[in-house]
Amino acid sequence: MIPVPANTRVWLAAGVTDMRRGFTTLAAQAETVLKQDPFVGHIFVFRGRRGDLIKIIPLS
């Protein structure tokens, strides 16, 4: 288990994400679509089309 500070928010991106995208592109998507700064210490979770893959932008 990975410890996460109590005041950390976990943002789940609704819908599907192209898993070929890198973390830089996903961070930009968090800024434009979710309207959140990916570098403030929150965790962003993106799901693949089939639902069997996820990518996580961890705490900064």
What is the amino acid identity at position 58?
P
Give mean pLDDT, residues 2-9.
84
Domain ranges of the chain: 10-59
> With 80 as the cut, is the pLDDT of residue 9 above it?
yes
**Model pLDDT, residue 59:** 59
Helix, strand, or coil (residue 40): coil
Give this prediction's pTM. Answer: 0.77
Write the pLDDT tens digit of every residue in 42-60.
Answer: 888 999 998 889 998 875 5
Question: Could you report the per-residue pLDDT of 19-47, keeping only the tens digit for each?
Answer: 999 988 988 888 887 777 777 888 889 99
Q: Which residue has the tokens 């800024």?
A: 31
In sign, the C-alpha dihedral spanning 30, 36, 39, 44 is negative
